[in-house]
Structure 1
């Protein structure tokens, strides 16, 4: 199941995958449980960052001055991922950016299978489900969250821990979304989507 995967993460200028741009990407290719390839780069967005994005990511306009061109960055990423199983935390977000960027740059998308560790988190655990929270639940040290490379390593460790606890095979190509917000605007054709809601720990009323 996890013998040929690419764990990846994008940091972006905003939430809209059509109009916003990727400013940082990271990916690791895992074959038979071993990391065989890693890729990490800042990406020129062609626009200035908002103070909020800099606050969240720690990335500044100055850091992006000598960043990699978007077209080259995505060509490299496309070569790394090949036909592997894609893995991300909150995959609906990253898969949308991947799709719309490939469409804009190359006029095509992707057909890779995928697993979303956030969907697994919501099914198996109580709120909160951020990558930092989930790593903490499994005793995984995650340094520097919201930087792409750190998030990728954390997501890989989280996937391994989840799979060891109970096989994640049933989550292949499944995307859960919070019902109160509605489904994503775009999902892969092979995705099965379903509404869900956060589970909360019950508290005793004193």
Structure 2
């Protein structure tokens, strides 16, 4: 099933996703690691999480930059199996991430390659939501947002970064940021999925 646009935020299963890849071209590059964790009713569900390392047989320098040794990568799951397992985990979850379009396009390239389809799940970008909330007045009294990194959002919300630049670590940090954003969204009338997932137009 997919969530109707009017669904209240607290009823939605959000899946906060991060992936590390061999580069920035979704068509050419490959997924190295996947990390995801669910949020339901504004609670991070540690027991509802997903982590996978994907076998990458080439471009070892792009793999090791993520703290993954070549031996670990070669022992990972085949891409097809990793994508299949993630799809089962994801279900009808709404995908959340920081600058999430790159992750979604990389996954879509993999799903098209192996299965001939693209993800149908809704997605939302934590940066877009932050900018919407800034425009709504949620950060009145603070300087305008100039930095658009995950680290900048952690600073904005007083979150101490931990285990950064690993897929599981970044997914958890993004989940902590998203938790704060959901609370602010509730105060500023963004209480339905449609209001939460609006693309931001500068």
Normalised-by-shorter TM-score class: 0.7 to 0.9
Give the corresponding residue for 1:181.
Answer: none
Which of these residues, 7, 14, 37, is aligned with residue 5 of structure 1? 14
> Counterparts of 1:93 and 1:46 in 2: how far apart (Å)?
22
Q: Which has the higher contact order (CA 8 A, sep 6+)?
A: 2
> Counterparts of 1:106 and 1:171 in 2: how far apart (Å)?
30
TM-score, L = length of structure 1: 0.77
Which of these residues, 98, 104, 119, is aligned with residue 128 of structure 2? 119
Deviation at 1:46, TM superposition (A): 2.8
Give the corresponding residue for 2:173.
Answer: 154
The CA RMSD measured in Å over matched residues stands at: 1.9
Structure 2 counterpart SS, 1:50:
helix
Structure 2: runs of 5 or more not aligned: 1-8, 135-143
Which of these residues, 64, 77, 84, is aligned with residue 54 of structure 1? 64
Structure 1 counterpart SS, 2:17:
strand
1:43 and 2:68 aligned: no
> Counterparts of 1:173 and 1:54 in 2: how far apart (Å)?
36
Change (3 A) 1:45 1:173: farther
| Alpha-carbon displacement from aligned partner over 1:39-77 (angstroms, at most 9, x marks no partner) | 1121112312235x533x222323212111111111111
TM-score, L = length of structure 2: 0.78
> Counterparts of 1:60 and 1:48 in 2: how far apart (Å)?
12
Aligned residues: 175
Give the corresponding residue for 2:147.
Answer: 128
If each structure's helix is expressed as a fraction of its own residues, which one has the higher value? 2
